[in-house]
Structure 1
Amino acid sequence: MIDVIAFLIENFQDADACPPREDLGELLEEVGFDDEEIGDALTFLDVLKHKPLVPAESLRQSTGMRVYCLEELDALPVEVHGLLHFLEQNGALNPEQREFVLNALMSLPYEDITVDHAKVLALLVLWAHKSELPVLIGDELMAALNGEAVMQ
């Protein structure tokens, strides 16, 4: 699924530039992705298109602290917690987007929960919401698509 998301980010300007779901599914099959990966990625895109239960403005104004449950603490590496905290504190992710990334990570097999996968999922949210990022943060997240750091 992460590879499908990376493909979408690299080949389409934003989520609105993607073809309709059926056509996109066919395109992804032609490229060589399997049905399960395609289905998972398209489901995440669908979720991103729906309005949240809590208005985004309320979440942005929230001053509360995110407390992780035991399941999240067990599954998510410390580096992932640090990345999400960094992105939120620097204005790259709002709380709603952070929660999407956390939920997406928690749906992955335990061995697939890595910092690079968290970066790709953060990119997915930002790409789907047409968010602008500071260059250094964008470069660091984009490095996860290629597997190599852009900046030292």
Structure 2
Amino acid sequence: MFEVLVFVYENYWRGDACPEPEQLGRKLSAHGFEADEIHAALQWLDELSVATQGVPLQREADASRVTIGARAMGEAALAPASDSMRIYSAAEQDHLGAECLGFIHFLQAAGVLAGGLREIVIERAMATSGQPVALDELKIILLMVHWSSGIEPDALVLDELCDGREGRTAH
């Protein structure tokens, strides 16, 4: 499924430029992807589209409330306080693994992953098979969440998400 998602990301730079699912399915099939991979990816993308509805985060008149994801349909969520802490369930810890959880924390601590987007990333990661999710797969999920929401990641974040660790020199 992740190969399909990478293909979609590379060929449709913006989420709103992506064709309808039926047409996209035909294009993916023509490029040689297996039917089960295409089906899983299209379903995942459809659920991503629903999850990112209303993103980017829209502050309401009451600054303590923010609309995120599928909650845009009238139900507002409280914006996380600056001193709040995200507690991961046992299922999330098992499925995401320490490396992915550490990477999510790194992005959030660096101020490049807002709480609302973090929740969408976690929800989409939980919707994947395989346990634990590999860090490279989480990076694809992060790219796709940004892609679907229309938010362009910071250049340094994009570099971190797109480049592998091979050949990097630690300072």
For normalisation by structure 2, the TM-score amounts to 0.74
Q: 1:54 corresponds to which residue? A: 71
Higher fraction of helix: 1
Q: 1:36 corresponds to which residue? A: 36
For normalisation by structure 1, the TM-score amounts to 0.83
RMSD: 2.6
The residue type equivalent to 1:116 in the other structure is: D
Unaligned 5+ segments in structure 2 are 54-68
Matches within 5 A, 1:66-145: 66-111=86-131, 113-143=133-163
Cα distance in 1 for partners of 2:70, 2:16 equals: 22
The residue type equivalent to 2:10 in the other structure is: E
> Could you say if the C-alpha distance between residues 115 and 40 of structure 1 is closer, same or farther in structure 2, counting changes exceeding 3 Å?
same
Number of aligned pairs? 149
The residue type equivalent to 1:121 in the other structure is: I
The residue type equivalent to 1:39 in the other structure is: H
> Could you say if the C-alpha distance between residues 72 and 40 of structure 1 is closer, same or farther in structure 2, counting changes exceeding 3 Å?
same
Higher fraction of strand: 2
SS at match of 2:145: helix
> Could you say if the C-alpha distance between residues 142 and 46 of structure 1 is closer, same or farther in structure 2, counting changes exceeding 3 Å?
same
Unaligned 5+ segments in structure 1 are none
Structure with the greater alpha carbon radius of gyration = 2
SS at match of 1:4: helix
Deviations along 1:24-54, one digit per CA (max 9) or x if unpaired, are 0100011111222212222222223223343
